[in-house]
Amino acid sequence: MRISFLSGFEKDLARSKDHALAKIVFQCIQQFEQADTLDEIPNVKKLKGHPTAYRYRKGKYRIGFFFENDTIIFAAFAPRSKIYSKFP
């Protein structure tokens, strides 16, 4: 699968000062790159009401992304309490 990033995702990640959290996100991105389908990745859930929107859960954080034409577009990264107000 191909990977791309929206500027909002990059800003969200830059705002996080926790280096351990950034390492977890990097590992998540590697996991997405190596997978052939979304079914191979645990903790991925399709969001209701949005045909291409998904979320990946890692602890209390969520990564919001879109899956279109075999491309994953990372859009948002935030704690669970804030992610759904800004994504999708």
Kindly state whether residue 57 falls inside one of the protein's structural domains: yes
Which SS3 state, helix, strand or coil, does residue 75 take? strand
Please count the structural domains in the chain.
1
In degrees and rounded to multiples of 5, residue 81 shows phi and psi of -65, -20
Q: The domain containing residue 15 runs over which residues?
A: 2-79
The CATH number assigned to the domain holding 74 equals 3.30.2310.20
pTM (two decimals): 0.90
Kindly state whether residue 84 falls inside one of the protein's structural domains: no
Q: What is the pLDDT of residues 15-49, one digit of tens each?
A: 888 888 889 899 999 999 999 999 999 999 999 99
Strands 61-68 and 71-79: antiparallel
Kindly state whether residue 17 falls inside one of the protein's structural domains: yes
In this predicted structure, what is the pLDDT of residue 22? Answer: 87
Kindly state whether residue 64 falls inside one of the protein's structural domains: yes
Kindly state whether residue 87 falls inside one of the protein's structural domains: no
Q: What's the CA gap between 24 and 58, in Å, rounded?
A: 8
Average pLDDT, the chain: 92
Give the burial class of 48: count Cβ atoms within 10 A of its Cβ; 0-12 exposed, 13-18 middle, 19 or more buried: exposed
